[in-house]
């Protein structure tokens, strides 16, 4: 604890800092929205400093409800910031300030993900530095993308270090599910208002239905895992209500990449969940066998359109035709290969890919090369390994096992979804994903405080 004198000096220093920034805004005559963002950010910083838990609650609520503000542009796209981008960074620095004052700075919780994440960050920085020097990528573009990538890892470190009790875990997971329920209800409103492809709120002029689809895969698997492993009728009723809205919302996105990723995720859930295997497998069989009877015509037409005769490809001597959207995904591999052979080791630097390539793995190998792709896959592999370990260790705990089984299934769904989108850099998917990753990684210590952190 710090004494009263220390509190006064810190308050004065913080006040002078924020007043100085406000004065700079006035001198530069920045638009009014920047003043609003600054004031809210100052309040969030203070909240994070005093009560990090409450600040994280604010962040969860902001994940899918944050408006976008255009602040500039990089080649091929506008640069926008969202409230949760700002909140995340502000909360992180507020948390760091709190740890520094409490003399806890540097005491980051050891997790199996720390090493691969730090490796990937360093490779990204080195690759980008070389790319900027060789003029393969602009400094402005690189900084924009690097900050985007870095904030997800900051979220993981902050949440994993802040979780201390089971109550925290349940509160955070409950809030994530509440947000998902509201988002799903919003998708229903859009659908019955005549919107062809539903998206999350505040998506700008052109919404990203595929992004909402990826988010819903993660949420549906998470909720399903909890549902099949819960012994509480009340909780089961609530979770069924969430699924009743979320699954149709997934259909309303008309995102084929999300649909095709969803089916393997269900199989993975059936393999890893302790309960509900027969029901899951029976449901999956019913979907396959009664496809034409179950799904509405617009879903069936969307699936058929995948093989529309717009572009033709040759695979092992066979001629196959696909629609324009599917063809773009196939072409992304060609584009990635053409870029990769020029700089195969460390890539061209973060931000050197085209603005939207709709394939996470193509983007990674273009930006950070073979070494970066290997480390990226190392991160994914370690997440899967840790989650499976946690599931085995906590199989007797119904909440923890249900949460972890659902997370594993959702994670596998996102790995497949990443073949059709830049899934692991999309903020609306990655914020809840990394938040949940941090929760799963810390579950053994939460359930059993004597559990050694270095066992995994």
Q: Which residue has the higher pLDDT, 325 or 75?
A: 325
Average pLDDT of span 75-97? 75
The answer, yes or no, to whether residue 107 has pLDDT greater than 70, is: no
- CB crowding 60-93: b at 16 or more within 10 Å, else e: bbbbbbbeebeeeebeeeeeebbbbbbbbbbbbe
Average pLDDT of span 359-373? 95
Measuring CA to CA, which residue among 326, 292, 300 is closest to residue 312? 326
- Residue 319 has a pLDDT of 72
Cβ atoms within 10 A of the Cβ of 283, count? 13
Residues with Cβ within 8 Å of residue 61, at least 6 apart in sequence: 175, 179
Least confident of 143-157, 298-312, 383-397: 298-312
The answer, yes or no, to whether residue 343 has pLDDT greater than 80, is: yes
The model's pTM is 0.88
Reported confidence tier of residue 312, pLDDT bands at 50, 70, 90 = low
End-to-end CA separation in angstroms for the chain:
33
Alpha-helix residue ranges (DSSP H) falling in 51-82: 52-62
How confident is the model over 217-238, as pLDDT tens digits? 999 999 999 999 987 889 999 9
Tokens of 342: 């020029």
The answer, yes or no, to whether residue 2 has pLDDT greater than 50, is: no
Beta bridge partners of 322: 311
Beta bridge partners of 82: 68
Distance separating alpha carbons of residues 101 and 81, to the nearest angstrom: 30
- Residue 106 has a pLDDT of 57
- Residue 128 has a pLDDT of 94
How confident is the model over 166-179, as pLDDT tens digits? 999 999 999 999 99
- Residue 351 has a pLDDT of 86
Q: How far is CA 234 from CA 111, 176, 231, in A?
A: 34, 18, 9
What is the overall mean pLDDT for the chain?
84
Tokens of 434: 């990394």
Residue with tokens 């549902």: 227
Distance separating alpha carbons of residues 407 and 400, to the nearest angstrom: 10
Listing DSSP states for 92-150 in one string gives HHHHHHHHHHTT-TT-PPP-TTHHHHHHHHHHHHHHHHHHHHTTSS-HHHHHHHHHHHH
Average pLDDT of span 63-76? 64
User: What is the residue extent of each domain of the chain?
Assistant: 1-107, 112-456
Q: How far is CA 23 from CA 14, 41, 212, in A?
A: 14, 16, 39
Tokens of 168: 């925290």
- CB crowding 330-353: b at 16 or more within 10 Å, else e: ebbeebbeebbeebeebbbbbbbb
Specify the long-range contacts of residues 276-284, CB closer than 8 Å, at least 24 apart.
276/224, 276/227, 276/228, 276/229, 279/228, 280/224, 280/228
The answer, yes or no, to whether residue 316 has pLDDT greater than 70, is: no
Distance separating alpha carbons of residues 229 and 221, to the nearest angstrom: 12
How confident is the model over 269-311, as pLDDT tens digits? 999 987 877 888 888 888 777 777 788 888 888 887 766 666 6
Q: Which residue has the higher pLDDT, 285 or 14?
A: 285
Reported confidence tier of residue 51, pLDDT bands at 50, 70, 90 = confident
The answer to whether 433 touches 218, Cβ cutoff 8 Å, is yes
- Residue 238 has a pLDDT of 95
Distance separating alpha carbons of residues 439 and 171, to the nearest angstrom: 11
Q: Checking phi first, is residue 202 left (phi over 0); if not, alpha (psi -120 to 50) or beta?
A: left
Tokens of 405: 């089984």
């Amino acid at each position: 604890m710090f004494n009263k004198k220390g509190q006064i000096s810190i308050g004065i220093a913080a006040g002078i800092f924020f007043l100085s920034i406000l004065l700079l805004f006035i001198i530069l005559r920045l638009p009014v929205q920047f003043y609003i963002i600054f004031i809210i950010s100052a309040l969030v910083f203070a909240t994070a400093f005093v009560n990090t838990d409450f600040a994280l609650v604010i962040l969860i609520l902001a994940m899918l409800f944050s408006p976008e503000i255009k602040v500039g542009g990089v080649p091929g796209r506008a640069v926008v910031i969202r409230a949760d981008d700002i909140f995340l960074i502000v909360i992180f620095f507020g948390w760091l300030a709190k740890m520094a004052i409490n003399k806890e700075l540097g005491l980051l919780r050891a997790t199996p993900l720390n090493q691969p994440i730090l490796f990937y960050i360093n490779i990204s920085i080195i690759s980008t530095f070389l790319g900027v020097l060789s003029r393969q990528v602009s400094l402005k573009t690189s900084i924009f993308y690097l900050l985007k990538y870095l904030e997800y890892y900051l979220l993981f470190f902050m949440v994993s270090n802040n979780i201390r009790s089971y109550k925290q875990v349940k509160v955070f997971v409950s809030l994530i599910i509440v947000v998902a329920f509201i988002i799903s209800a919003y998708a229903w409103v859009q659908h019955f208002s005549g919107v062809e492809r539903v998206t999350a709120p505040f998506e700008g002029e052109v919404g990203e239905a595929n992004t909402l689809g990826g988010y819903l895969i993660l949420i549906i698997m998470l909720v399903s895992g909890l549902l099949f492993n819960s012994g509480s009728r009340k909780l089961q009723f609530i979770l069924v209500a969430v699924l009743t809205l979320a699954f149709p919302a997934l259909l309303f996105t008309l995102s084929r990449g999300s649909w095709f990723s969803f089916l393997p995720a269900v199989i993975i859930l059936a393999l890893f969940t302790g309960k509900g295997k027969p029901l899951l497998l029976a449901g999956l069989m019913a979907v396959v066998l009664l496809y034409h009877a179950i799904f509405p015509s617009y879903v069936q037409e969307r699936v058929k359109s995948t093989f529309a005769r717009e572009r033709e490809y040759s695979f092992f001597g066979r001629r196959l035709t696909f629609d324009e959207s599917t063809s773009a995904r196939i072409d992304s591999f060609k584009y990635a290969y053409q870029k990769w052979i020029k700089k195969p080791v460390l890539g061209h630097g973060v931000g050197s890919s085209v603005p939207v390539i709709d394939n996470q793995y193509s983007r990674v190998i273009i930006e950070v090369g073979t070494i970066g792709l290997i480390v990226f896959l190392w991160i994914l592999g370690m997440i899967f390994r840790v989650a499976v370990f946690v599931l085995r260790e906590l199989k007797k705990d119904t909440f923890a096992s249900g949460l972890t089984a659902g997370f594993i299934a959702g994670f596998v769904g996102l790995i497949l979804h990443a073949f059709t989108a830049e899934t692991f850099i999309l903020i609306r998917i990655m914020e809840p994903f990394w938040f949940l990753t941090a929760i799963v990684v810390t579950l053994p210590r939460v359930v059993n405080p004597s559990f050694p952190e270095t066992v995994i």
